[in-house]
């Protein structure tokens, strides 16, 4: 499957956005995610989430489109819409294993973009796959998953 080309693109965006020294003080960002400090949330939103959201939808391949990205409990969440595939095909263990293996390989790679991603989202990354607005599978990755051999 080539539907994972978007991951390196997003990781590169995180690195490039992190180099931006411009501060944003928009009033609309002041009340986001009241459970954490507003300054911290605005920084992550401004540096990582919002720039990617502005580019959505992002067509990963003929079957997969990234339609949303958001932070929840220090986890980055990606929402993908899958077209022209039945939910049963997506639920096959071999399909899920292939998806997880490719995501894990990228998530566990030792490069600066991934390190930045893990810094901003220390609790991991979740990949949600939807067909016709119905969530079919979630692939959850955590930093500890990279320690497994």
State the DSSP string of 12-37. HHHHHHHT-------GGGTTS-TTS-
CATH code at position 89: 3.30.300.250
- Assigned domain for 81 exists: yes
- Residue spans of alpha helices (H) in 108-148: 112-120
Backbone angles phi, psi at 97, to 5 degrees: -65, -40
Q: What is the pTM of this model?
A: 0.72
Q: Does 1 map to a domain? A: no
The whole domain housing 110 covers 6-147
The mean pLDDT values, 10 residues at a time, for the chain of 149 residues are: 44 39 39 46 79 94 94 95 95 95 93 90 96 97 85
Q: Which residues does 17 contact at the CB level (< 8 Å), separation at least 6?
A: 47, 48, 51
The pLDDT score that the predictor gives to residue 121 is: 94
- Split into its structural domains, the chain has a count of 1
Q: Which token pair is 55?
A: 């580019």
pLDDT for the residue 42:
67
């Amino acid at each position: 499957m080539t539907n994972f080309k978007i991951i390196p693109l997003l990781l590169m965006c995180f690195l490039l956005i992190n180099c931006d020294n411009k501060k944003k003080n928009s009033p609309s960002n002041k009340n986001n995610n009241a459970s954490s400090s507003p300054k911290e949330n605005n920084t992550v939103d401004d540096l990582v989430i919002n720039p990617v959201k502005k580019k959505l939808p992002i067509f990963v391949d003929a079957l997969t489109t990234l339609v949303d990205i958001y932070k929840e409990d220090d986890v980055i969440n990606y929402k993908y819409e899958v077209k022209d595939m039945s939910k049963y095909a997506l639920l096959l263990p071999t399909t899920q294993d292939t998806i997880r293996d490719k995501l894990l390989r990228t998530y566990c790679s030792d490069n600066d973009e991934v390190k930045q991603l893990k810094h901003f989202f220390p609790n991991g990354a979740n990949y949600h796959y939807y067909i016709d607005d119905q969530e079919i599978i979630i692939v959850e990755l955590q930093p500890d998953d990279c320690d497994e051999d």
